[in-house]
């Protein structure tokens, strides 16, 4: 039983299977016939309404021509579809990125709280490279990650873009990551993005004192499906989908907004900070 929740793994797998079928040029009737199941069953799989057996997923991937590491990744996702949460650690963290991008693209509201770095959806290329330079990766791996991050940012430029709210600690802007020039460019980019009607940027200033820091997270809300929370940590990151977990982070979000400056005051603070870097 799935009860009153839609597990994150199941939803992520459903999204990817639907895309793969379209890329293979098949409708659900043809794809279902190829693996010996009904169209209704495949439709339920693509809508995350059933827990598909891994042999069915393997058959679909074969029909869609998915091989190699991508096949391994999707079959791994198909394990434990009804798990209470979906967390990955260490070298397995990249497995989450396609799912995160899919959820971001499907969401109608994204709220991101960050206390150490500008969120990936708002990073300039130079700032993203400075962040990636902190990781133990070679130049090629670093550029691949930067390119993937910039590709994800396209979600905020779609005709039907989600409403995006970034709640950021002032500490992010006090550390000159990449140097003064990179920081000035990054802050000016944020000021420009904040002028767009679907993007809101709020800064929690030092002058407001302390607050309960829940760690970096994204709250993703959807028009028809339940919300999902993505939690991000160096040691373990992943998706939470249980109703009590979602409610907890919705409450955290409301509290963080109360600690933050309003939009106009945030832009004023960012303008002053950019000026400080430009004069340094």
Q: What Rg value do the Cα atoms of the chain yield, rounded? A: 20
Q: Are 94 and 73 a contacting pair, CB within 8 Å?
A: no
pLDDT value at position 2? 42
Cβ-based burial of 264 (10 A; exposed 0-12, middle 13-18, buried ≥19): exposed
Q: What's the distance, CA 118 to chain centroid?
A: 13
Which pLDDT score, from 0 to 100, does residue 1 have? 35
Write the CATH number for 112: 3.30.870
Do residues 141 and 235 both lie within one domain? yes
Domain boundary among 45, 77, 109: 77
The predicted structure's pLDDT at residue 261? 98
200 located within any domain: yes
Interatomic CA distance for residues 115 and 133, integer angstroms: 18
Q: What is the CATH number of the domain that holds 39?
A: 1.10.260.40
Are residue 41 and residue 155 in the same domain, yes or no? Answer: no
Report the number of distinct structural domains present in the chain. Answer: 2
Q: For the chain, how many residues are written?
A: 280
Find the angle CA(74)-CA(76)-CA(79) to the nearest 5 degrees. Answer: 115
CA 66 to CA 20: how far, in whole Å?
8
Alpha carbons 200 and 183: distance in angstroms, whole number? 19
Domain shared by 101 and 121, yes or no: yes
- Tokens standing for residue 139: 């130049």
Q: What is the pLDDT of residue 95?
A: 80
Assess whether 113 and 147 both reside in one domain. Answer: yes
Whether residue 226 is found in the same domain as residue 128: yes
Quick one: angle between helices 125-132 and 139-152, nearest 10? Answer: 130
Same domain, 89 and 23: no
Q: Identify whether residues 200 and 251 lie together within a single domain.
A: yes
From 152, 120, 129, select the one nearest 232 (Cα to Cα).
120
Look at residue 188 and tell me if it is in a domain: yes
Are 54 and 178 members of one domain?
A: no
Q: 200 and 248: one domain?
A: yes
pLDDT of residue 4: 55
In 3-state terms, what secondary structure has residue 32? helix
Does 111 lie in the same domain as 93? yes
Instruction: Give which of 45, 17, 87 is closest to 241, Cα–Cα.
Output: 87
pLDDT per 10-residue tile (average), the chain, 280 residues: 69 95 96 95 93 93 96 90 82 83 96 97 96 80 88 94 97 97 98 97 97 96 95 90 94 97 98 95
Query: Which regions of the chain does DSSP assign to beta strands (E)?
Result: 85-89, 109-114, 163-169, 199-204, 217-221, 228-231, 236-240
Torsional class of 203: left (φ above 0), alpha (ψ -120 to 50), beta (otherwise): beta
pLDDT for position 136: 67
Residue ranges making up the domain that contains 229 = 85-279
In the structure encoding, which two tokens stand for residue 188, read together? 């000016």
Q: In this structure, are 71 and 104 located in the same domain?
A: no
Residue 151: the pLDDT is 94
C-beta separation of 102 from 225 below 8 A: no
The whole-angstrom separation of Cα 133 and Cα 130 is 5
């Amino acid at each position: 039983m799935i009860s009153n929740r839609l597990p994150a793994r199941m939803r992520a797998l459903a999204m990817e299977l639907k895309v793969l079928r379209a890329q293979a040029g098949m409708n659900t009737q043809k794809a279902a016939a190829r693996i010996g199941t009904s169209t209704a069953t495949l439709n339920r799989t693509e809508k995350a309404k059933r827990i598909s057996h891994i042999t069915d997923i393997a058959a679909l991937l074969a029909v869609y021509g998915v091989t190699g590491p991508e096949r391994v990744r999707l079959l791994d996702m198909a394990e434990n579809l009804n798990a209470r949460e979906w967390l990955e650690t260490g070298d397995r963290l990249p497995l989450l990125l396609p799912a995160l991008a899919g959820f971001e693209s499907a969401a109608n509201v994204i709220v991101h709280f960050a206390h150490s770095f500008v969120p990936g959806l708002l990073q300039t290329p130079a700032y993203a490279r400075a962040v990636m330079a902190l990781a133990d990766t070679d130049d090629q791996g670093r550029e691949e990650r930067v390119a993937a991050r910039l590709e994800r940012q396209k979600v905020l430029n779609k005709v039907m873009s989600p409403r995006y709210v970034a709640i950021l600690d002032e500490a992010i802007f006090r550390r000159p990551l990449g140097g003064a020039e990179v920081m000035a460019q990054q802050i000016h980019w944020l000021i420009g993005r904040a002028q767009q009607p679907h993007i809101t940027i709020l800064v929690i200033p030092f002058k407001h004192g302390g607050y309960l820091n829940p760690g970096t997270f994204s709250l993703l809300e959807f028009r028809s499906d339940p919300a999902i929370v993505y939690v991000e940590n160096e040691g373990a990151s992943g998706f939470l989908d249980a109703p009590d977990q979602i409610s907890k982070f919705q409450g955290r979000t409301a509290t963080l907004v109360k600690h933050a400056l309003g939009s106009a005051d945030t832009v004023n603070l960012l303008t002053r900070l950019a000026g400080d870097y430009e004069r340094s």
